[in-house]
Amino acid sequence: MEKRISRLEEKMEELLNAVRIIGDAGNRRERNVLQYAVNRRQFDHMVDFMCRKHEAVDERLLKLESKLQDK
């Protein structure tokens, strides 16, 4: 019984994290991709998608900072 409760708690935590990530998604396309991942329980795909998004934003910020420093 304890194992079963533990597994249910883990699944609940995964779902709560998924909801938080979807809430952070900026546009409709991102929300659709993330919702699809949740529906399919592809949590790894969802996390990878958000990580790639944040890496791209970080790269753009670094480029902008370097341009500002050059001026």
pTM of structure: 0.33
Is residue 66's pLDDT more than 80? yes
State the total domains in the chain.
Answer: 1
Average pLDDT over residues 16-39: 70
Please give the Cα distance from 50 to 57 (Å, whole number): 11
Domain extent for 14: 2-70
Whether pLDDT at 25 is above 70: no
pLDDT in tens, 32-47: 777 777 776 666 666 6
Q: What is the pLDDT of residues 45-65, one digit of tens each?
A: 666 776 777 777 778 888 888
Q: Compute how many other C-beta atoms are within 10 angstroms of the C-beta atom of residue 4.
A: 8
